[in-house]
Amino acid sequence: MSTIDSVLKENRLFPPSEDFRVKANVSGMEGYNALCEQANNDYEGFWADLGRELVSWKQPFTKVLNSTEAPFYKWFEDGTLNVSYNCLDRHLAGSGDKPAIIFEADDGTSTPVTYRELHQRVCQFANGLRSLGVKKGDRVVVYMPMGVEAVVAMQACARIGAIHSVVFGGFSAKSLQERIGDARASLVITANEGLRGGKSVPLQAVVDDALALGGCESIQHIVVFQRTQTAPAQWDARNVWWHELTAQQPTECEPEWMNAEDPLFILYTSGSTGKPKGIQHSSGGYLLGTLVTMKWVFDYKPDDVFWCTADVGWITGHSYVCYGPLAIGATQVVFEGIPTYPDANRFWSMIARHKVTTFYTAPTAIRSLIKLGADLPGQHDLSSLRLLGTVGEPINPEAWIWYHEVVGGGRCPIVDTWWQTETGAHMIAPLPGAVATKPGSCTLPLPGILADIVDESGAPVEPGKGGALVIKKPWPSMVRTIWGDPDRFKKTYFPEEFNGQLYLAGDSAHTDENGYIWIMGRIDDVLNVSGHRLGTMEIESALVANPLVAEAAVVGRPHEIKGEAVVAFVVLKQNRPEGEDAKRIARELREWVAHEIGKIAQPDEIRFGENLPKTRSGKIMRRLLRVIAKGEEITQDVSTLENPAILEQLRVSAL
């Protein structure tokens, strides 16, 4: 992979400036090393101190880590708290009038919402949910556009102890239905439609379709936020307008006091096999993870204007839009739209207008904005910025250097943050006032995070050698289980090969001579397309569900902007199509996948064959498909291949 080659050659070091280091929350390598040492000397004491310092408890915990049912670890188990109280109420006395959210709508209008106002809106909505019978432990699916209401919906669930499961607004009715069914949710919160890039996005209509598919009998109400004037095509007796639900509700709402281990939310993510996994997070440990990383990695200061561009449909939007920034009392920008509307100046203009200090986005967005106008940031006053971040995939050094020079004016550290839906919060990232950065490396684990790179037997590999990235000790914000499937949780993350002792991240990585970690990519059949996680099996199952398709295999190939592109090899039940016929069927299959999963999973390329390359025992040889997808010559051994002629056919058939 060309990105990896260039990453491997990259060795420039960018230490923090003296000015940044002096003011930083963790200052210099002395500061970083001191924290690591504390964690090494007394692991539980280290996390207990942070838990007491950063989280407001109703009933303080006396127990720290309970490993008796490992890998089902418990943190702070006898403590009680409410996450929404931590995000809102505790700021009212000192910062009630501080803007919590500066909301910028798709059309460019912006509205500040203070902590006091946000608190009132969350309380009203929480009371509304209670009036519909939602109670502690119930599951609530949130299928919303980006905006203040999405945050209000999630915070209101947290306030009454309901477990939210946010489904990204780009997922199809089928995906939504599967998630509602798996979580046995009792309520869906949606909007009539969303607005992105000047276009409306159907939401309530997709919910209607999802419910019509069946299997969602658990749903009792659908709360609909009216984002636009478009009237709903259908209005079920179970539907309730958001504004009607909240109109008469009191602006105070007693929080439900939760045990630290009570689930805060489920978020579905793709795995290597089968259906998406409901990643279940806790209340106490998760909140601590978001808080400590806001402080260390984002070096949070009270006068910051923080902006994470992620949608709340992903973990990044949970931890660094909905929870972390509010829990620490920050002012943050929440953006409804897309980076290219009305044009590719949008992000830069927003940074200038809102005086953003901390900007956090995905490498794929950076790459596409370079392509659309590498000189555009220069036309805006970006002098408010002091810290930049990236997340979701490795960043190629070229894009890193551009981000550093052109966006950050050469003065802002870049925090390349490695983490996952399962980890809840950053795990490997430079503390910006301490760790010198290297373009393309997420650098060093955070204090209290024991990352390592191991071989198949679980033994650490030498620097420079690739291996599996693992975490050696449980950490507070870790996934607690897979909703409804504890066996799968155990097998996936704490496999027998490592005696159930190591958390297996699913990424391969290596370290360099400075001990810096370089992420190489997934070791399972998971693709990373524009920072979004997609299971190849999921796309394959969607394809074979089409009546025309006999067999399908999906692989990734490097893509300049998206990181990875989806390439599908398809065998039809009919003869292998050619010419216009092939184009038409390929188009149909793309639409089919959008319909089954969502547009984000649509294959970039489809190749039809009479068959797929298989071993004599019938196993599809994916490594050959990856070579073909890249457009490279096959130099590997094909002697075990049953049907070598098929390779040529697939090689010439890109559509």
Please, how many CA atoms are within 13 Å of residue 474, restricted to the half-sphere of its CB?
24
Query: Backbone dihedral region of 377: left (phi > 0), alpha (psi from -120 to 50 degrees) or beta?
Result: alpha
Question: Using CB under 6 A, which of 157, 442, 444, 470 touches ligand WT7?
Answer: 442
CB-nearer residue toward ligand WT7: 128 or 278:
278
For residue 586, the surrounding DSSP H or E stretch is helix 579-596
Question: Using CB under 6 A, which of 121, 227, 522, 557 touches ligand WT7?
Answer: 522
Task: State how far the Cα of 4 lies from the Cα of 61, in Å rounded to an integer.
Answer: 45
Contact 436, 408 (CB under 8 A): no
Closest contact distance (angstroms) between CB of 188 and ligand WT7 is: 23
DSSP assignment string, 231-287: PPS---TTEEEHHHHHTT--S--PPPPEETTSEEEEEEE--SSSSPEEEEEESHHHH
Closest contact distance (angstroms) between CB of 142 and ligand WT7 is: 17
Question: Is 421 known to sit in a ligand binding site?
Answer: yes
Question: Is 47 known to sit in a ligand binding site?
Answer: no
Where are the alpha helices (H) located in 424-535, listed in sequence order? Answer: 486-493
Residue 444's contacts (CB-CB under 8 Å, 6 or more residues apart) are 32, 428, 430, 435, 515, 516, 517
- Select from 301, 274, 566, 242 the least CA-distant residue to 432: 301
- Select from 527, 601, 486, 553 the least CA-distant residue to 175: 601
Residue 79's contacts (CB-CB under 8 Å, 6 or more residues apart) are 51, 57, 59, 60, 61, 62, 259, 260, 284
Closest contact distance (angstroms) between CB of 557 and ligand WT7 is: 16
Question: Is 420 known to sit in a ligand binding site?
Answer: yes
Closest contact distance (angstroms) between CB of 68 and ligand WT7 is: 28
Question: Is 316 known to sit in a ligand binding site?
Answer: yes
Question: Is 393 known to sit in a ligand binding site?
Answer: yes
Residue number of the CB atom closest to ligand WT7:
421
Question: Is 307 known to sit in a ligand binding site?
Answer: no
CB-nearer residue toward ligand WT7: 92 or 561:
561
- x/- mask, ligand WT7, residues 76-105, rule CB under 6 A, reads ------------------------------
Residue 214's contacts (CB-CB under 8 Å, 6 or more residues apart) are 177
- Select from 286, 266, 323 the least CA-distant residue to 51: 286
**Sign of the C-alpha dihedral computed for residues 513, 514, 515 and 520 taken in this order:** negative
Question: Is 248 known to sit in a ligand binding site?
Answer: no
Q: What angle do CA 68, 164, 526 make, to 5 degrees?
A: 75
Question: Is 418 known to sit in a ligand binding site?
Answer: yes
Question: Is 295 known to sit in a ligand binding site?
Answer: no
Contact 156, 264 (CB under 8 A): no
Closest contact distance (angstroms) between CB of 14 and ligand WT7 is: 16
CB-nearer residue toward ligand WT7: 221 or 533:
533
| Burial of 413: CB neighbours in 10 Å, binned 0-12, 13-18, 19+ | buried
Closest contact distance (angstroms) between CB of 369 and ligand WT7 is: 18
Q: Count residues binding ligand WT7 (CB under 6 A).
A: 22
**Does residue 315 bind ligand WT7 (CB under 6 A)?**
yes
Question: Using CB under 6 A, which of 326, 391, 425, 565 touches ligand WT7?
Answer: 391
Region from 22-30, 117-125, 380-388, 418-426 binding ligand WT7, contact rule CB under 6 A: 418-426
Closest contact distance (angstroms) between CB of 317 and ligand WT7 is: 9
What angle separates helix 536-544 from helix 579-596, to the nearest 10 degrees?
A: 120
Report CA-CA distances (Å) from 443 to 14, 47, 275, 394, 412: 11, 22, 33, 12, 16
**Does residue 424 bind ligand WT7 (CB under 6 A)?**
no
Task: State how far the Cα of 591 lies from the Cα of 600, in Å rounded to an integer.
Answer: 11
**Residue position matching structure tokens 């056919």:** 649
**Does residue 50 bind ligand WT7 (CB under 6 A)?**
no
- x/- mask, ligand WT7, residues 333-372, rule CB under 6 A, reads ----------------------------------------
Region from 37-45, 155-163, 189-197, 411-419 binding ligand WT7, contact rule CB under 6 A: 411-419
Question: Using CB under 6 A, which of 89, 299, 304, 507 touches ligand WT7?
Answer: 507
CB-nearer residue toward ligand WT7: 159 or 510:
510
**Does residue 421 bind ligand WT7 (CB under 6 A)?**
yes
Question: Is 394 known to sit in a ligand binding site?
Answer: yes
Interacting positions 259-278 with ligand WT7 (CB under 6 A): 269
| Burial of 133: CB neighbours in 10 Å, binned 0-12, 13-18, 19+ | exposed
Question: Using CB under 6 A, which of 196, 346, 386, 533 touches ligand WT7?
Answer: 533
**Does residue 506 bind ligand WT7 (CB under 6 A)?**
yes
Interface residues with ligand WT7 (CB under 6 A) are 269, 315-316, 391-394, 416-421, 442, 505-507, 519, 522, 528, 531, 533
Q: Which residues are annotated as a binding site for Mg(2+)?
A: 544, 549
Q: Which residues are annotated as a binding site?
A: 196-199, 316, 392-394, 416-421, 507, 522, 530, 533, 544, 549
